Amino acid sequence: MTWAVESQRKNYGKALVELGRTRKDIVVLDADLSGSTRTVEFAKAYPERFFNCGIAEQNMMGTAAGLALGGMTVFASTFAVFATGRAYDQVRQSIAYPDLNVKIVASHAGITVGMDGASHQTMEDIALMNAIPNMTVIVPADGPQTYRAVLAVAERPGPAYIRMGRSDVPVITSDKDEFVVGKASVMVDGSDIALVGTGQMVVPCLEAAEMLKQKGISARVINLSTIKPLDTATLIKAARECGAVVTAEEHNIVSGVGTLVAAALAESYPVPMQRVGMQDIFGQSGESDELMKEYGMGTKDVAAAAIKVMERKK
């Protein structure tokens, strides 16, 4: 399968400029990484509403809270490992607890940060943000969906976390596709097994579905772009109709998306499951594609997990 590739970060910058044009309450903060996060596009267009907070992520989150209290809709950006790890206390206490209108859009998440190594490859950010009350958590699958997700959270009151990767990713959604917070989308219908992917792992799920088709296995592919609130209705329907589920995430499987899906199904419709993702270990420096293969997050790994679960289903 062949797709065009596109940057999630560039789509984020594009969405910010569009928001800045239509809404005067939009302000953007960055922790001295605007060139990487692409908030630089907003800074060029609306310099009076852009603030570089320097390498001081905790202060940036506190500043974001203050601006939100003053009636602004704030977008705050840095690398995911800093936004969720270094500034966790400020996000929890100053933004989420008072339920403020701050949107944290973090880039360079997951193992595909590549050469930056384990210190920058955050595999815990979804779990950290998901555990905070009032927080919306979104992991778009590609560039166009990132654009639509940014516009959507701008209209939604309260704090939100959007996770982006570093690498360009295949474009698998259309500009015509509607993005609804809290709603998963079925990319491919199927009846034997459901492959539930999030973020960059949606593509391996689509490719695995093609591989499984050659073996006579009909796989349903679900793009789980909103992690919180979780679309339990779509997940339960897939479990009931397919009888087996594989989850795929570029994140630690401990307290990750697979765990959330398993918990939701355990309460309503338990079926055989397998989780594809980081197996509770740190990464290492390397090329993105090499690391995905090394840690078992490739197309063949998703397909193998599906076959394994199918055996349990029988």
Q: Concatenate the DSSP letters of all residues of 188-229 into one string.
A: E--SSEEEEE-GGGHHHHHHHHHHHHTTT--EEEEE--EEET
pLDDT higher than 80, residue 1: no
Question: Domain limits of the chain?
Answer: 5-170, 185-313
Q: Indicate if 185-313 has the same CATH topology as 5-170.
A: yes
Q: What is the mean pLDDT of residues 201-216?
A: 97
CA distance 248 to 204: 8
pLDDT higher than 90, residue 174: no
Please, what is the average pLDDT of the chain? 96
Active-site annotation, residues? 57
CATH architecture of the domain 5-170 equals: 3-Layer(aba) Sandwich (3.40)
Residue 102, pLDDT score: 98
Predicted confidence band of residue 116 (pLDDT cuts 50, 70, 90)? confident
Q: What is the mean pLDDT of residues 196-225?
A: 97
Residue 242, pLDDT score: 98
Tell me the CATH number for domain 185-313. Answer: 3.40.50.920
pLDDT higher than 90, residue 97: yes
CA distance 261 to 273: 9
pTM of the complete model: 0.96
Q: What is the pLDDT of residues 11-55, one digit of tens each?
A: 999 999 999 999 999 999 999 999 999 999 999 999 999 999 999
Q: What does the DSSP assignment read for 67-82?
A: HHHTT-EEEEE-BHHI
Residue 75, pLDDT score: 98
Q: What is the mean pLDDT of residues 183-192?
A: 97
